[in-house]
Amino acid sequence: MKGRFFAAGLLLVAALPAAVHAADLKRAEEIVGGRCFLCHGMDGEAASALYPRLAGQHAEYIAKQLSDFKTGKRKSDTMSGMVGDLTPEEMKALGSFFEQKKPGRNGRADADLAAVGRYIFTRGNQYSGVASCTSCHGPQGHGTPQLPRLAGQQPLYLENQLKQFNTRERNNDNAVMHSIASKLTELEVKAVSSYISTLE
């Protein structure tokens, strides 16, 4: 009899994380439906090329960016207002919500421009000291929990982020990005952003 109660107790304990996770995702969906969808869509597919695609992005990375927006470590008047009342738990839940969404596909990129971007992405530029993007973000641009997934991202958004790294307008992330962005020419910025947008 005791064995049966013990086994039932174990099953209940094992089921708790799943129930909590489902509740967190439900709360995340409410938040997305109340504010995030305006720019990022319900499924993390940006409404404009100016906004990042969040579908498939790493949960930990999203939670960190939301926290940085809240503390002012990453500057954005729009985002600081959007995240002001979010708890750390809600930020993690939003990360999990968007990570589970399947990224869509971008349109076709200019083949010649993307070819230059592919070279920079995979090999860097030894003449200017630019390291390859693959050394941190991986050969397919899928990143890590600490480094963003770049594959399939909006090219215009990527261009803007590289420019912000260069001017130090964005300084909440890896200092290596400042060094890399400052060495990229305008052509290379456009080319690598174009190529990354074609990755899946």
Contact 183, 176 (CB under 8 A): no
Evaluate if residue 20 carries a pLDDT over 80.
no
The residue among 13, 59, 50 whose CA lies nearest residue 155 is 50
Residue 190 has pLDDT above 70, yes or no: yes
Per-residue confidence (pLDDT) for residue 14, from 0 to 100: 53
Asked if domains 2-99 and 111-198 share a fold, the reply is yes
pLDDT tens digits along 114-160: 999 999 999 999 999 999 999 999 999 999 999 999 999 999 999 99
Helices (H), the chain: 2-31, 37-40, 59-71, 77-83, 88-99, 111-123, 134-137, 155-167, 176-183, 186-198
In this predicted structure, what is the pLDDT of residue 29?
97
Which of 157, 152, 128 has its CA nearest to residue 200?
Answer: 152
Residue 10 confidence (pLDDT)? 47
Q: Residue 18: how many CB atoms within 10 A of its CB?
A: 9
Question: Domain map of the chain by residue range?
Answer: 2-99, 111-198
Name the DSSP class of 118. Answer: H
Domain spanning 2-99: CATH 3.40.50.460: no
- Specify the amino acid at residue 70: K
pTM of the model: 0.87
Distance, C-alpha 86 to centroid of its chain: 18
Average pLDDT score over the chain: 91
Beta partners for residue 125, in sequence order:
130
Domain 111-198 has CATH 1.10.760.10: yes
